[in-house]
Amino acid sequence: LEALGRKQIAGKILLFNNRFDQRMAAQGLGGEAYEQAVVFRSRGAIDASYFGAVAVLVRSVGGGGYRLPHTGITAYDPAIPKIPAGAVTAEDADLIAGLAARGKVQARLVLTPQSLPETTSYNVVADLKGTEHPEQVVIVSGHLDSWDLGTGALDDAAGVAMAMAAVELVRRLDLRPRRTIRVVAWMGEECGSPGAWAYAKQHEGELAHHVAAIESDLGAGHPVGFKAKIKDKAMAWLSPVSAILDAQGAGGIRPVDGTEADLTPLAYAGVPAFGLWQDSRTYFNFHHTAADTIDKIVPAELAENAAAMVVMAYALANATEPLLR
Amino acid sequence: LEALGRKQIAGKILLFNNRFDQRMAAQGLGGEAYEQAVVFRSRGAIDASYFGAVAVLVRSVGGGGYRLPHTGITAYDPAIPKIPAGAVTAEDADLIAGLAARGKVQARLVLTPQSLPETTSYNVVADLKGTEHPEQVVIVSGHLDSWDLGTGALDDAAGVAMAMAAVELVRRLDLRPRRTIRVVAWMGEECGSPGAWAYAKQHEGELAHHVAAIESDLGAGHPVGFKAKIKDKAMAWLSPVSAILDAQGAGGIRPVDGTEADLTPLAYAGVPAFGLWQDSRTYFNFHHTAADTIDKIVPAELAENAAAMVVMAYALANATEPLLR
């Protein structure tokens, strides 16, 4: 935008036509591809307004190509005029760009979204108490809320289902882990994770005893392992767990700098954080669209995810020595 | 409907939740899978009304699962009350069926389509004159109109492009076929092929000299051959053509009872009719949806189709002996 300059931008509707990198997603880096692309949706209205634009259109962040808008959180800055922002489908973004290359394009935007007033809502928390160190906690989690176009089967009812299934599996096998396994269904991930921040504040004094936290928030495709925000020295501890997970093709441990949105407050407090790392080749075709519905869940793959989550959670909860932090 | 009976149906909104057979489509029988499923859209409103239904909802005919409605022609019978009919997405059809299985479901339909008055339109016709028998004609064709949700890139701008490219290839190679190759861009396929019927009527006296007609109306996927509505005894004539097409994986000749909609009037008059037979595994994901846009066309595959069409057309136009009819 700086290169274009205020003179080019002022008074215009700006189209951000930046593509989601499907090749990255195919290589197991769907989350990273998303982060690269989503900045145009999350920051675009602020930056364009700063340079005088009257509105922004943002190419939908995701794959698929079924003329579906993909939407999501769009930030505003109180210091900069709030301008309208709309998601357009990949097809329509290309059409507009093609027309703009030929000459002036006029558009009339009719945008109907509304931000409703805040209301009270809740995380849902349930403990399977540890036998030796009930005060030491391993969290398994997903988030309860979803973006509004679909029903949120992939994002993130699947994660909540996995966390519930993980504890159910421990019970069904009549295992009694030394530490507590806590199921958390976070509230509000889509609007900045207020539930997760409230949890971290409420449990501030106990976070030193939070051994680890796991969340699945990348759909329900076949699990290939975990994205781990942990200390380097903790990697060795995970080797035997990874070896067990290898048998189901889920043994990958990938160190990451950031973690799942809901685990960020815990990670700030030093809690080791694990995100389920799924095959996400198709996830971003459906993410934040009207097509995120239950038929997209493959039951066998959902079960694989619950299995991977429970193996990791049980190892963390039952090991003699806790994971290094 | 007969089994359900008027008592069950009268006064209700009926949901036809019949699935498009994706497995058939994967086996090269996309058109046949479509024909099986589309009867619920094309005839559903008539039959449901006959049994007293007040409206019908029809599961979208097609694959994809991106919460896209697939629409298309819906017939009414002047003798039977005209009731509203709407296409619902696969996801919504499953949701409604699931709710109905639990109890009474109420729905309020807001349907906005309109049939505009008829207007004059045209087939577009261009001849590459034959050197020996200019009065003998081989048609290469697609249809110009499209269903209204998308832009009709697959259905059927692709077919028109192939027919134009086929003749362009003959010219570029400086070939002079014995018979005339006629490009036809049919008008009105989506509303019962009035253009094709008008052509057959207008050229009634010349149809004995129409050696064959070819149309592509199944998208632009890799061509696997031709669907041939011809006499059994004509198959042998096609063997050497098939052998040439085999080199590009397009040598299949599949005898069919029906032919492409636009070729039906010619076939009635005894003209051998060929439909391009494409790999249609993804065609019905986009067919008659908002996502039938140009980005769905793979240029290399479009070119393969033009190549297959021109090989067949040139063979038909230049053979010493015409195809048996």
Q: Has residue B168 got a pLDDT over 90?
A: yes
b/e per residue, A35-64, with b = 16+ CB within 10 A?
ebbbebbbebbbbbbbbbbbbbbbbbbbbb
The pLDDT confidence band at residue B20, using thresholds 50, 70 and 90, is very high
Instruction: Report the chain B residue with the minimal C-alpha distance to residue A288.
Output: B66
The pLDDT confidence band at residue A63, using thresholds 50, 70 and 90, is confident
The pLDDT confidence band at residue B125, using thresholds 50, 70 and 90, is very high
Among left, alpha and beta (phi > 0; psi -120 to 50; other), residue B219 is left
* Interface residue B65 vs chain A (CB under 8 A): yes
H-type alpha helices, chain A: 6-9, 22-26, 30-50, 90-102, 158-172, 194-202, 235-246, 264-268, 283-286, 299-318
DSSP letters along B142-161, please? EES---SSS--IIIIIHHHH
Q: Of B183, B218, B217, B219, nearest to B298 (Cα)?
A: B219
Instruction: Give the strands of the sheet with B85-88, arranged side by side.
Output: B13-16, B55-59, B85-88
Q: What is the mean pLDDT of residues B85-110?
A: 96
Instruction: Report the chain B residue with the minimal C-alpha distance to residue A92.
Output: B293
Round to whole Å and give the CA distance between A28 and A278.
Answer: 8
Instruction: Give the strands of the sheet with B133-143, arranged side by side.
Output: B124-128, B179-186, B133-143, B210-215, B273-278, B223-229, B252-255
Reported as a single tens digit per residue, the pLDDT across A289-319 is 999 999 999 999 999 999 999 999 999 999 9
Does the active-site annotation cover B189? Answer: yes
pLDDT at A38: 94
Strand pairing class (A179-186; A133-143): parallel
Instruction: Report the chain B residue with the minimal C-alpha distance to residue A295.
Output: B91
Give Cα separations from A283 to A33, A152, A286, A288, B153 (angstroms): 12, 12, 6, 10, 26
β-sheet bridge partners, residue B133: B179
Strand pairing class (B179-186; B124-128): antiparallel
Q: Of B144, B216, B138, nearest to B182 (Cα)?
A: B138
Rg value, chain A, Cα: 21
Give Cα separations from B180 to A155, A247, A277, B69, B238 (angstroms): 59, 65, 61, 42, 19
Among left, alpha and beta (phi > 0; psi -120 to 50; other), residue B207 is alpha
pLDDT at B65: 87
Give Cα separations from A26 to A40, A154, A232 (angstroms): 21, 18, 27
Round to whole Å and give the CA distance between B114 and B83.
Answer: 14
The pLDDT confidence band at residue B198, using thresholds 50, 70 and 90, is very high
Give the mean pLDDT of chain A.
96
Cross-chain residue pair A65–B94, CB shorter than 8 Å: no
Helix, strand or coil, per DSSP, at residue A183: strand
Helix, strand or coil, per DSSP, at residue B100: helix
User: Residues B132, B189, B301, B321: which is the catalytic one?
Assistant: B189
Instruction: Please report residues of A whose CB lies closer than 8 A to that of B293.
Output: 67, 91, 95
Q: Which of residues 154-193 of A touch B (CB under 8 A)?
A: none
Instruction: Please report residues of B whose CB lies closer than 8 A to that of A150.
Output: 67
- Nearest CB to A66: which of B64, B94, B95? B64
pLDDT at B26: 87
pLDDT at B114: 86
Q: Has residue A96 got a pLDDT over 80?
A: yes
User: Residues A189, A190, A215, A260: which is the catalytic one?
Assistant: A189
Give the mean pLDDT of chain B.
96
- Nearest CB to B94: which of A65, A289, A295? A295
Q: Identity (one letter) of the amino acid at A117?
A: P
Q: Has residue A233 got a pLDDT over 90?
A: yes
Q: Has residue B239 got a pLDDT over 80?
A: yes
Tokens of A206: 């106990």
Q: Of A29, A101, A39, nearest to A72 (Cα)?
A: A39
